[in-house]
Structure 1
Amino acid sequence: MDVRRVVAVIAAVVVMGVVPAVASASSSLVWHACATQQEPTAECATVDVPIDRARPQLGSARLALARLPAADQAHRIGSLLVNPGGPGGSGVGFVQFGGLASPDLARLRQSFDVVGFDPRGDWFSTPRITCDPATLFDPALDRFPSSRRGFDALVAHNRAAGEDCVARTGPLLANADTQSAAEDIETIRAALGEPKISWLGLSYGTELGAVYASKHPGRVRAMVFDGAVDHARPLRQAILEEAAATEDALVRFADWCRGSADCALRGRDVLRFYDDVVARAARGAVWASDLGRSATADEISAGVYNHLYLREEWPALGKALAAAGGEFPDARGLTERNQFLSPIYGAYRAIGCHDFPSPFTGPADMGVLAGLVRAVAPHSWRYSEYWDFVSGCTGWPVPAKNPPQPHPVHGAPPILVVGGAHDPATPPAWARGLAASIDGSALLTRAGDGHTGLFNSACARAVEVEYLVRGVTPAPSPICR
């Protein structure tokens, strides 16, 4: 994250429901040093949670935690829990390896014990969601089937992949939903000895935080939901909204690239170039040296999508796209950034199928929505996260425990919701929807590009820090430009 790019801070702020610092009660956790080069003061611990609170006979899972003790212990406010997104992202890794190292966030480091955790099934928590990557992702599979035969092949593939994950993971897989993970946060809070917690959630971390706040509003001191996910949104609507947001981000990149000296494709029709690369990949004509085979069109599109998360990575995206479409094409710069072969793709899929199960009843139904996706995203339609969820969950054998539903928050202090006008992953309508479900919430809109304000806007970082430390929320309808 390049924090040197400074943007204007919104002019007016008001104090809404400032929550005083609270002393921590006695913690039951045993911390040990786990220093990294980036964070030499890091400490680690574990906490056990039931796999299924309704069926304790299934045993427990062990969650991994990492903490950066407040630099100013004399004025420590409490614990700030962070979730960097996903589903499947590592809060432990985020804390240990510099996720909050920006100078803009120094006041958080001064005032809070910053605590990251790996949710159940993820990274250093055990048991870990484990799937055979070759079974989970088949590059030859059509994720937009137009026939009964193709649809049945997708269903059979996903069923086999899910059954493999169940066999390798055990009963945790059926309990890897966000409702269960939210109750784990309450266990963590109690183990920390904190009467209330503060929360910084990014992307999926906004859904997880919202579920927790809905269940335990009295345990909330302050919460930031940045890159907001509105889990109450009808799934078909959300699919189209996100596809349109991804298209918007790609078009904005192309407009910038065409006229920027920092882009390798300056002066070109970038969207046409992109379409040509994807079309050639669909014919097996674009090599990827990291894969040792031709890249698929889906892999190309997913790699472009992931570069759109950070505005500062647009020059790198221009180079990677130019290389994929060159005389001797190599898509490595794109394919090494897609998530299909990521070590957390199994957790991403398993949690996603609990929270965003497939709505499709058959090939005709799926084909209609696929056609609408192509209509709202004529260039980027081959990859958006919600289509990855619903296509991958079509035939998934594990029943969904947390399908889309409202998680209203009543009785908590004001919560800050942050949305981006040109966010490729979480459209601004989602931030408005989430904020509307939270009594007394404050909504900050970010006018720039990229996913989340924390990673793309000095203005948003300043507002988030001020709110978390002092309870200062933006005046009505603020915009970070």
Structure 2
Amino acid sequence: MVLDTALDDTTTPTERIRREAATAEEAFDRFTAWCSASTDCALHGKDTAAEYDALVTRADRTPIPTADGSRALTGEDIRAATQDYLTLSGVTWPALAQAVVKAQAGDASDFTYEPDDTLDPVQVQVPACLDTARPVAGFDQLTRLRNDLARISPHLGGAVRSWTALTGCLGWPVPAHPVTAGTPVHGAPPALIVQSTHQALAPHSAGLAMAAQLPGSVVLSREGDDYSMFLLSQCVRDATNRYLTTRALPAPGTTCTD
């Protein structure tokens, strides 16, 4: 197996949400730093974080319509759509800045779809509700967790995929049957796990946690902010092709910098 951006399922569900929220917030901070430095950012020359926060506040007060008039987006809608805009710095970062500018002008359409269209929402929700323990049973618990996430993630407010999955499981009539995680898998060949040093979906440490469950596996790090690293890095492509054809893994600790 070649795993591009592993997730860490060895922690509790609430701790996983906290870590993902912190990781997405760091990615947002790196996006705003890029906007300050790059003229390719539609918000260049402005305080990008302040512009984003003001847009979210405005949308929470008065939802912003989409071009076709089918719906109007709240600030929470905008936050929930932001994480996936942070996964490909060369493509989706410019698109996020343009989406903010467009929404400021009164059209929030660009926040109504996910830049990554490879996952069906039902495909994501079902295992989240059936394979994972449900740490929240009511509104009071949910509010306390959300307040915690707001401290961890002041711009995005913790509106990450794990939060969407958790809230989507509230009220499910079918009980969860959690899958035991964290124990080594025996009999499987070593895997190649490719993990960015900075990424909006999972911290770098998640790759190491996954490798520990697959004995002999190696984490190939890539310096950067991106998901789908096979598409972006010749170093990652070379290591992946070598592994898939010869099963030879890179040396532990190897980092791609291209």
TM over 0.5: yes
**Which secondary structure state, in structure 2, belongs to the residue aligned with residue 311 of structure 1?**
coil
Task: Give the alignment of 1:41-80 within 5 angstroms.
Answer: none
Contact 1:299-1:338 at 8 Å conserved across structures: no
Post-superposition offset of 1:231: 2.2
Describe the SS at the equivalent of 1:361: coil
**2:128 alignment partner in structure 1:** 352
> Residues 413 and 351 of structure 1: is their aligned pair in 2 closer, same or farther, counting only changes over 3 Å?
closer
Is the 8 Å Cα contact of residues 420 and 452 (structure 1) preserved in structure 2?
A: no
* 1:386 Cα offset (Å): 0.6
Question: Is 1:423–1:452's contact at 8 Å kept on the other side of the alignment?
Answer: no
Pair 1:387-2:163 in alignment: yes
Distance in structure 2 (CA, Å) of the matches to 1:338 and 1:290: 19
Does structure 1 residue 322 correspond to structure 2 residue 101? yes
Structure 2 residue aligned with 1:281:
59
Matched ranges for 1:194-233 at <5 A: 223-233=1-11
Runs of 4 or more above 4 Å deviation: none
Structure 1 position 303 matched with structure 2 position 81: yes
Pairwise CA distance, 1:429:
1.7
2-side partners of 1:310 and 1:404: how far apart?
32
1:241 to partner: Cα distance: 0.5
Contact 2:9-2:16 within 8 A present in 1 as well = no
Q: Which moved more, 1:289-298 or 1:418-427?
A: 289-298
**Percent of aligned pairs with the same amino acid:** 34
2:241 is matched with 465
Counterparts of residues 173-212 of structure 1 (less than 5 Å): none
Q: Is there any run of 5+ residues in structure 2 with no aligned partner, and where?
A: none
Please say if residues 242 and 248 of structure 2, whose CA atoms lie closer than 8 Å, have aligned partners that are also in contact: yes
Matched-pair contact (CA < 8 Å) for 2:21–2:158: no
Question: Does structure 1 retain, via aligned residues, the 8 Å contact 2:19–2:203?
Answer: yes
**What letter corresponds to residue 350 of structure 1 in structure 2?**
V
For 1:402 and 1:356, locate their aligned partners in 2 and report how far apart those are by CA, in whole Å.
5
Q: How far apart are the structure 1 equivalents of 2:130 and 2:26?
A: 28
The structural deviation recorded for 1:336 is: 2.9
Please identify the structure whose Cα radius of gyration is greater. 1
What does residue 223 of structure 2 align with?
A: 447
Post-superposition CA distance 1:126-149 (Å, at most 9, x none)? xxxxxxxxxxxxxxxxxxxxxxxx
CA distance in 2, matches of 1:437, 1:283: 46
Larger strand proportion of the pair: 1
Aligned equivalents of 1:312, 1:374: Cα separation in 2 = 28
Deviation at 1:382, TM superposition (A): 4.8
AA at the equivalent of 1:348: V
Describe how 1:227-376 pairs up with structure 2 within 5 A. 227-290=5-68, 292-313=70-91, 314-326=93-105, 329-337=106-114, 344-376=120-152
Aligned with 2:175: secondary structure? Answer: coil
1:192 corresponding residue in structure 2: none
- Aligned residues, how many? 256
SS in 1 for 2:249: strand
Question: Are the aligned partners of 2:8 and 2:206 in contact in 1 as well (CA < 8 Å)?
Answer: yes
Deviation at 1:404, TM superposition (A): 5.5
Paired with 1:475 and 1:343, the residues of 2 have a C-alpha distance of 32
How far, CA to CA, are the matches of 1:366 and 1:374 in structure 2? 12
- Residues in 2 aligned to 1:425 and 1:343: alpha-carbon distance in whole angstroms: 14
| C-alpha RMSD over aligned residues | 2.3
Which residue of 195, 199, 203 corresponds with 1:423?
199
Q: Is the 8 A contact 2:152 2:158 kept in 1?
A: no
Does structure 2 retain, via aligned residues, the 8 Å contact 1:358–1:391?
Answer: no
Whole-Å separation in 1 of the counterparts to 2:158 and 2:252: 38
Change (3 A) 1:404 1:309: farther
- For 1:415-459, what per-residue CA distance to the aligned partner results, in whole angstroms no more than 9, with x for missing partners? 111222211112212111111122111111122012242244332
Cα distance in 2 for residues equivalent to 1:266 and 1:407: 47
Alpha-carbon distance change, 456 to 246 in structure 1, aligned in 2, over 3 angstroms? farther
**Of Structure 1 and Structure 2, which has the larger fraction of its residues in helix?**
2
Please tell me the residue identity of whatever aligns with 1:300: I
* Residues 255 and 365 of structure 1: CA distance in aligned 2, closer, same or farther (over 3 Å): same
* Structure 1: 5+ residue stretches without partners: 1-222
Change (3 A) 1:237 1:443: same
Specify the code of the residue in structure 1 equivalent to 2:210: L
Q: Looking at both structures, which has the greater relative contact order when contacts are Cα pairs under 8 Å and sequence separation is at least 6?
A: 2
CA contact (8 A) 1:233 1:404 kept: no
Q: How high is the TM-score relative to the length of structure 1?
A: 0.50
Structure 2 CA distance for aligned equivalents of residues 452 and 420 of structure 1: 10
CA 384–343 in structure 1, closer or farther in 2 if over 3 Å, else same: closer
SS at match of 1:445: strand
Q: Please give the residue correspondences for 1:95-114 in structure 2 after superposition, counting only pairs within 5 Å.
A: none
Shift of 1:267: 0.8
